Structure 1
Amino acid sequence: MKSKHIFTLLLCFTTSLVFAQQTIIRGKVTDAETGDPVPYATVVIQGTQIGMATDFDGNYELKGEAESDTVLFSYVGYETRKKLYEKGVTQVINVQLQPKATSLADFVVLSDKAENPAFEIMRSVIDNKNKNDKRRLEAYEYESYNKIEIDVDNITEEFRKKKYMQKVTSVLDSIDIIAGEDGKPILPLFISESLSKFYFRSNPRLQKEQIIKTKITGIGIEDGSLISQVIGSSFQEYNFYQNRMNIVEKEFASPIGDGWRLIYDYDLTDSVSLEGEFCYVLDFKPKNDQELAFIGTMWIAKADFGLKRMDATMQPTANLNFIEKIKIQQELERMEGGAWLPVKSRILIDVSEITKKSAGFLAKFYSSNKNLALTEPKPNKFFERTIELEEDARISDEQFWIENRHDSLTTTEISVIAMIDSLKQIPIVKTWTELLKTFARGYVEVGQLDLGPWPVLVSSNDVEGFRTRIGGRTNEHFSLKWQLNGYLAYGFKDKNFKYGLGATHFISRKKWTTISANYRKDIDQLGLQPDGITDFDDANAFVALSQLGNLIRPFAYETFQVDLTSQLSKPFSFSLRLKNQDFTPLYNGFSYYTEPSDITSPTGTEFTSTEATLKFKYAKDETFIINDNSRISLGTVRWPTFILGYTHGFKGPLGGDFDYNKLDVGISQRLKMGFWGISHYQITASKVFEDVPYPLLTAHIGNEQPVYASFAFNTMNFYEFVSQQYVSMRYQHFFEGFILNRIPLLKKLKWRLVASGNVLYGDISESTLAAQPTVDFLSLDPNKPYSEVGVGVENIFKFFRVDFFQRLTYLDNPDIKKRQIKVSFNLSL
């Protein structure tokens, strides 16, 4: 009996030992160059049916016995790898796959009569787009968790040996912790996390993100309000149901866009079950190898032809500068209302090396959305601020993130944070960081002060001779309620000091209500001042050149002005300006009748204007972000911007010499034209109702410089035309690669065509002309517009643009050039 019990025990032990020896293989598949997970990769024991696809985070687990001792790892766009495994044990095998040129074989239909089976599925996808697009839901909300990482990649031995890199060699030697055993080394610069609530309503289409917490670790990047706002889900929105998707400021054609048949080829490769959802697997690739489009695979749910998964990579031959790779991977979930919302997204942008001896950059974005819910639409007032940063959003501890992260930080990400902290302590890194910040901001930060801007530190012109200028402003470390500014300049030829002082009080940062007062005593040039309607954002090079050499109708001025601004609601804002200015011409030939309606009145050469200007702006979907003590507009997406301004000039007790009224209106818009390109137009009009000296009228901005200026008339001379009333239209169309991409010999250059046209109607009344004792400018014929057209080529050597302009009217005016060639430096993707 005792022997029997012993035998039974031995049998049970042996049986349990056999079961314990089952083979279990777990691990993660990552990209050898970026360290990112590779979702949907195939992992299979060679020669068997034991296999699976990795999940969205690149994880896999295999169980089973086989004669083979090899695991195969493969995915489109990567070299297939083999790994040996040990039988009968539980083990971890992590693999890095080496990317190869992303390409798909040509799609072939065997019979001329048989239709490509993928087309029937695609037609159903298009027919059901409106039903499956999340934008058609009345209202929804979700919690969003976002991670962003920026790294230096392609670190060659030659780059490491550079003198300025030798100081960080000790840190670079530990990079294998991040890259993995088979990966390429990367140098991390920045990593961030954010947790937010995202809200959407469809009618009217509005969205809002409330950023609850942010955490930022970066070299030379502080956890400031600006960065905290741009790392949320609002800037990680990728909706393939749009016909065109805006990525790095370029419009990419979606593989499920309305123009699918014109742009893409498709192949039905498989059908699988994903989380109980039967899906068709379709490969797609662009027909034109330079189209801004994708190569990849998508999984389409059979039940409603909604997009379940997407894996899309920019084709490497696309007409795009400095970007080596863009990869978007997305998983979506069907809502109760039928539409599909993304639950996980991963985006990779690989910035190529500027030169062969320099390194490149990787930008990696990850988004996870939870608690997706259909809701009742919130009131429009709730959406007044598109991005709202909670007051304590930048204050958190590690315990908060442990409890609220949607996914734990990986070992790699923990190593990234540690390495960034080490790099920040290296002196040369600190020095270069400060230099780059100074170059980008234009100011040198010294505690609570920003000194600058440095581009105007020195200059030279015919009035002042050599000019030096020092100035500065307080920053957010001084106060978030007040900002003070001032400068002092001196001209060594005219031996005069110029100076200015100012202060701004932030009444409400939520409504962005501010009041400011500024005093200036300086010199300027007639006809180069923005009129409050025209966009002067791209005027830097033009204005800088115009301040050198011979000044155009220079004048000295002493100005005191008070400005009040406020965002009344999401689309509406207003500003009120009270301004008093003394005008003293520094050129010969100007005089005016002190009583413009009486040509027998005395003449003068100096005058004072006192005016109040009220301006309203309507921009339906304009988005702003706050950068400490300034606010930055990101522009509008779909709707035009309207501006209405009214100015009244006061005469008498308030110090002005003239009574006058002026009305300004403007409308501008950026139009997406699909594969045709992008258009910009701007229409402005203005009228001064009384007779006043011509410096108070509108001098249209000409351009005699070789540098192109979008806000100027590029074949018009400086101060050639002045108008009392006018209407103008400026139009530009960027063809991107639409035309030149289709010309065999030219498409290799990746040049892009630009067309432009400017039209101006204007005139001056006879009584206003009579009020000017001397007239050294021209008035437009109200029945004959000034017009010019241009054609340009941009992306020449990736940096330059050349425009040829032809003047069409007023060809008999003296000293004009009917044709002009303008060049510009254009750092464009």
Structure 2
Amino acid sequence: MKNVFIILLFLSFNIAFSQSRIVVKNAVDESAVSGAVVKCNNQLIGKTDQSGILVFKTKCKKVEVSAAGFYQDEVVVDQLMEVFMTTTKVKTREIQTVVLQDKSDPRALEILRKINDNYKENSPQSLDSYSYKSYEKISLDFDEDSIKAYSNYIANRIDSLKKLPQQPMKKQQEKDSLQSVGLMKLMGESKMFLWERALENLYSKKYGEKTIVLDNKIAGLKEPIYELMAFRSNRNNIPKEIKEENRNLYRYYLTDSIEIDGRENYVIRFREVNYRQPVNKRKFNGYLYVDKDTYALKKIESNSKIKSEGSITSIWKPINNKWFLVKENYKIKLGAASFANVEESGRKTKQEKEAEKQTRSQFGTYAFVTADYFDFKTPIEEKAQDFKGYSMEVESSDGNIINQYRTESLTKREETTYLKIDSLSSRYKLDQKAKALTGLLKGKIRLGMLDFDLARIIGYNKYEHFRLGAGVKLNEKFSRYISPDAYFAYGIYDKKFKFGAGVDVRTTTEKNSFFRAEYFNDVMAAGRFSENLWNFRMRIMNSGVALNNGVFYGYEGFKLSYENDITNGLTLNIAARKSKEDAKFDYDYKGLGSEFDITSSIITLKYSPNSKNIMTQNGKYTYEQNLPEFYFNYEQGFRSLDGDFNFSRLDALFVQNFKTKLGVTGLRAYGGIVFGDAPLWKNFTMNGLGKANSGLNFNLTSYLGFATMEGGKYYNDKFVGAYLTHRLPWYFKSFGKNVSSFDFIYRGIIGDMKNPEFHQFDFKKLNHLYNEVGLEWNNFLSTQFNLGFFYRVGHYNTAKFKDNFAIQFKLKLLGF
């Protein structure tokens, strides 16, 4: 009898604590809102009592809350929810704006400081090991309130079209018209996009992170999109709302304390700065629940200032005294679909077009993301075998077992999405279009079995001026193992064609491992730093390094190489090269002339231990480039095989960043040295970006360039350089949605040339420390560009201000 009583007590306890409790308050004075209606998918759950409280059970992920005199709201289901409803009364909102102080509560700021101080200790990654699974669902759709209105709109539109006089149409026009109507009807019946993914996440302090794709399903796509599959949530990142550097963007208020699961929590509400209070804006942008004992985040809800623009909710729970993320829910407005209410033929006047704009129906389109994390285990048995290979691998991707991992059943609309969009996939070639979009991530345009290289379309340098060209490579649709490629280019100024061709032969499809043979006939700026194994973003950023350097050489020959990823973070490339090289400038080396045969071997190493990679059908894809990174090149020239010189050329690059309370500091340290006899272009140019004898020195930033240095002026056979940038922990908004900040930048370089007289050419060696300092305004005037101002100091400073000063522009997307 006693055992039965214990079981009943346990069951009643479990039932009681599996319930959800919602508290609804007035956002103006925080008084209770009684009689507030709580619904799930338009089905009534209940109403709040006199205290504004409702206790209920539901399987829904979100509930809608409405009350007379207030704007409707919604909230992610949790054990405890608080909803602060905004009144529809204008005068009350005006009073609310006045009462709200425009400064943060010092007590709230102190709690936020402790959250940041304890974040690493509270993070699961402070454990020795753990594992968990996750189920994520991402979709594009109309807002729930708009779906019915849109369906009615489509029905009325079709009726209106039927009543219009029938105009004679060609077969293709009739087909396009029917498809257009069909697509509009489809959008009323199903989502525009639906993607589900199930993952298993492993972590070991000894072996690192490993993510396994258990299954993956995307509506309309039969083949997996690995680049999309590698999309990462922010589960391991500190939310931007609590980062110390973002304190100027929000105002924080400690308002309450509340008990959840027997643990006391602080409640901090926050709002964005420059707050204005029109009809549909909230008093607060969100709230934080903070565990009192550990200063760990329990929950964060971050809303847009305008309710219709979306919200983000994240919920954590303690396991082994560490806080694991258990739920995420995103709703982000992407834009509005706009449709005319009538269909008319013939041309329209300007007045008719303006009138049509006023009668267009608009429906907000949103990205919806839900993620559940479960099956937590810590510690786990750590086996090296489980962590081998790349940081992400795919176990299954056909969608056949995704149902095993779903934490909720698909809605009827979601089921329809798979049926409807799958049926349209072949008609609209969705697989090909998706592949084309993912190709852009690697700087390619994909057309069938051809990949076109975007970086080769157009370029500029001082020797060729505009360089026009094209590069194409046969992708995995041609062969999984053999991939030929070719390119050509034409220089507008030198009026010469350049070209090259090669072929990759893979040894396996499990990782990056292939042989390559190539032929080339091209030109390059003399003394450029090696870019072997650099990614597309780094090469694009450094592509303008020769804009004002006219010292070029030509090279024609062939190369054989082998590349292999030894581990997830270590890549090796070895090559043998034979070429005929000649100066495209007035030059003579040691009386031997300006044209030489070069025979050499090259070894390149890249070490990137924290970057995240996945193997795709088209090769390795780095979906998260994390620092530090180290690059090393060693080229050895031989007199054998008709080579003219015996030389050794080494160069290395180290990239890292460091975050402290004073901000984020980035470092690029690099250098090189040449031993033996070698022509000028086998030495190193110092990467000047400036023009000689110009008025205003304006240039585009480069990865290793100097804004104030004259291009093509300095050459060394040995050098070391550093690029330091420090982002101030102060973020602000000028206007628009982008957040601006400032970086202090220092660039320095020094080296020497042992025998400059060997090179019969007008240049200078750089044997004193060259310094330039600068200030860069990130997101200049809320654009996607950074604007930098630089000044040369130290030994190479001159009396003229304009000689020392430079302005630089940089696309923010290129990053540090």
Counterpart of 1:792 in structure 2 is: 776
Q: What's the offset of the Cα at 1:584?
A: 2.0
Counterpart of 2:315 in structure 1 is: 331
Q: What's the offset of the Cα at 1:813?
A: 11
**Aligned CA distance change for structure 1 residues 283 and 488 (closer, same or farther; 3 Å):** closer
Q: What's the offset of the Cα at 1:340?
A: 3.1
Counterpart of 2:349 in structure 1 is: none
Specify the SS of the correspondent of 1:657. Answer: coil
Counterpart of 1:376 in structure 2 is: 380
Conserved 8 A contact 1:143-1:372: yes
**Aligned CA distance change for structure 1 residues 200 and 370 (closer, same or farther; 3 Å):** same
Counterpart residue type for residue 369 of structure 1: Y
Q: Which residue, out of 170, 176, 198, partners 2:201?
A: 198
Distance in 2 of aligned mates of 1:376 and 1:761: 51
Distance in 2 of aligned mates of 1:465 and 1:618: 35
Counterpart of 2:578 in structure 1 is: 580
**Aligned CA distance change for structure 1 residues 54 and 545 (closer, same or farther; 3 Å):** farther
**Aligned CA distance change for structure 1 residues 345 and 558 (closer, same or farther; 3 Å):** same
Distance in 2 of aligned mates of 1:560 and 1:431: 34
Specify the SS of the correspondent of 1:684. Answer: strand
Q: Which residue, out of 758, 762, 772, partners 1:771?
A: 758
Q: What's the offset of the Cα at 1:522?
A: 2.3
Counterpart residue type for residue 377 of structure 2: A
Conserved 8 A contact 2:603-2:633: yes
Conserved 8 A contact 1:77-1:103: no
Q: Which residue, out of 712, 725, 728, partners 1:732?
A: 725
Distance in 1 of aligned mates of 2:112 and 2:551: 64
Distance in 2 of aligned mates of 1:47 and 1:173: 45
Specify the SS of the correspondent of 1:537. Answer: helix
Conserved 8 A contact 2:525-2:553: yes
Matches within 5 A, 1:403-414: 403-414=404-415
For normalisation by structure 2, the TM-score amounts to 0.71
Counterpart of 1:88 in structure 2 is: none
Counterpart of 2:647 in structure 1 is: 660
Specify the SS of the correspondent of 1:776. Answer: coil
Q: Structure 1, residues 61-96: CA drift from partner, whole Å, max 9, x if none?
A: xxxxxxxxxx96379996369xxxxxxxxxxxxxxx
Matches within 5 A, 1:323-472: 327-335=311-319, 337-351=320-334, 362-380=366-384, 382-390=386-394, 393-397=396-400, 400-418=401-419, 420-421=421-422, 443-450=444-451, 452-453=452-453, 456-457=456-457, 469-472=469-472
Counterpart residue type for residue 410 of structure 2: L
Q: Which residue, out of 138, 141, 161, partners 1:148?
A: 138
Q: Structure 1, residues 480-536: CA drift from partner, whole Å, max 9, x if none?
A: 222211234567987765432211122244452222121112233324564549888
Q: What's the offset of the Cα at 1:726?
A: 0.4
Q: Structure 1, residues 735-769: CA drift from partner, whole Å, max 9, x if none?
A: 47x1655xxx889995432321110011101xx22
Specify the SS of the correspondent of 2:477. Answer: coil
Q: What's the offset of the Cα at 1:771?
A: 2.0
Specify the SS of the correspondent of 2:710. Answer: coil
Counterpart residue type for residue 769 of structure 1: P
Specify the SS of the correspondent of 2:402. Answer: helix
Q: What's the offset of the Cα at 1:636?
A: 5.2
Specify the SS of the correspondent of 1:172. Answer: helix
Say whether residues 1:214 and 2:216 are aligned partners. yes
**Aligned CA distance change for structure 1 residues 279 and 553 (closer, same or farther; 3 Å):** same
**Aligned CA distance change for structure 1 residues 495 and 770 (closer, same or farther; 3 Å):** closer
Counterpart of 1:780 in structure 2 is: 766
Percent identical: 20
Matches within 5 A, 1:595-674: 602-634=591-623, 637=626, 640-651=628-639, 653-673=640-660
Say whether residues 1:310 and 2:314 are aligned partners. no
For normalisation by structure 1, the TM-score amounts to 0.70
Specify the SS of the correspondent of 2:700. Answer: coil
Distance in 1 of aligned mates of 2:73 and 2:304: 20
Counterpart residue type for residue 217 of structure 2: K
**Aligned CA distance change for structure 1 residues 138 and 564 (closer, same or farther; 3 Å):** same
Specify the SS of the correspondent of 2:774. Answer: strand
Distance in 2 of aligned mates of 1:755 and 1:120: 28
Conserved 8 A contact 2:245-2:663: no
Any unmatched runs of 5+ in structure 2?
1-19, 23-38, 75-84, 158-172, 276-283, 339-356, 691-697
Distance in 2 of aligned mates of 1:463 and 1:210: 49
Distance in 2 of aligned mates of 1:518 and 1:134: 48
Conserved 8 A contact 2:248-2:273: no
Distance in 1 of aligned mates of 2:418 and 2:596: 62
Conserved 8 A contact 1:582-1:606: yes
Q: What's the offset of the Cα at 1:254?
A: 2.9
Distance in 2 of aligned mates of 1:204 and 1:457: 45
Distance in 2 of aligned mates of 1:465 and 1:722: 22
**Aligned CA distance change for structure 1 residues 545 and 268 (closer, same or farther; 3 Å):** closer
Say whether residues 1:820 and 2:806 are aligned partners. yes
Any unmatched runs of 5+ in structure 1?
1-25, 29-35, 61-70, 82-96, 179-186, 246-251, 318-322, 594-601
Counterpart of 1:92 in structure 2 is: none
Conserved 8 A contact 1:103-1:295: no
Q: Which residue, out of 713, 725, 728, partners 1:720?
A: 713
Counterpart of 1:521 in structure 2 is: 521
Conserved 8 A contact 1:324-1:352: no
Matches within 5 A, 1:664-743: 664-673=651-660, 676-704=662-690, 706-735=699-728, 738=730
Say whether residues 1:44 and 2:47 are aligned partners. yes
Specify the SS of the correspondent of 2:676. Answer: coil
Q: What's the offset of the Cα at 1:606?
A: 0.3
**Aligned CA distance change for structure 1 residues 454 and 635 (closer, same or farther; 3 Å):** closer
Matches within 5 A, 1:183-262: 188=192, 190-201=193-204, 203-204=205-206, 206-217=208-219, 223-230=224-231, 235-239=232-236, 244-245=238-239, 252-254=240-242
Counterpart of 2:33 in structure 1 is: none
Q: What's the offset of the Cα at 1:617?
A: 3.1
Distance in 2 of aligned mates of 1:346 and 1:308: 16
Conserved 8 A contact 2:648-2:675: yes
Q: What's the offset of the Cα at 1:131?
A: 6.3
What is the root-mean-square deviation of aligned Cα atoms in Å?
5.2
Distance in 2 of aligned mates of 1:459 and 1:518: 22
Conserved 8 A contact 1:475-1:629: yes
Counterpart of 1:172 in structure 2 is: 184
Conserved 8 A contact 2:460-2:544: no
**Aligned CA distance change for structure 1 residues 456 and 525 (closer, same or farther; 3 Å):** same
Counterpart of 2:788 in structure 1 is: 803
Specify the SS of the correspondent of 2:183. Answer: helix
**Aligned CA distance change for structure 1 residues 152 and 626 (closer, same or farther; 3 Å):** farther
Specify the SS of the correspondent of 2:219. Answer: strand
Distance in 1 of aligned mates of 2:464 and 2:285: 59
Conserved 8 A contact 1:556-1:586: yes
Matches within 5 A, 1:554-565: 554-565=552-563
Counterpart of 2:256 in structure 1 is: 269
Distance in 1 of aligned mates of 2:481 and 2:580: 31
Counterpart residue type for residue 370 of structure 1: F
Distance in 2 of aligned mates of 1:818 and 1:324: 51
Counterpart residue type for residue 394 of structure 1: S
Bigger share in helix = 2
Q: What's the offset of the Cα at 1:657?
A: 0.9
Q: What's the offset of the Cα at 1:299?
A: 4.3
Distance in 1 of aligned mates of 2:177 and 2:782: 28
Specify the SS of the correspondent of 1:412. Answer: helix
Distance in 1 of aligned mates of 2:95 and 2:210: 39
The count of residues paired between Structure 1 and Structure 2 equals 702
Counterpart of 1:184 in structure 2 is: none
**Aligned CA distance change for structure 1 residues 706 and 471 (closer, same or farther; 3 Å):** closer
Distance in 1 of aligned mates of 2:444 and 2:534: 26
Specify the SS of the correspondent of 1:720. Answer: coil
Distance in 2 of aligned mates of 1:138 and 1:109: 45
Conserved 8 A contact 1:533-1:666: no
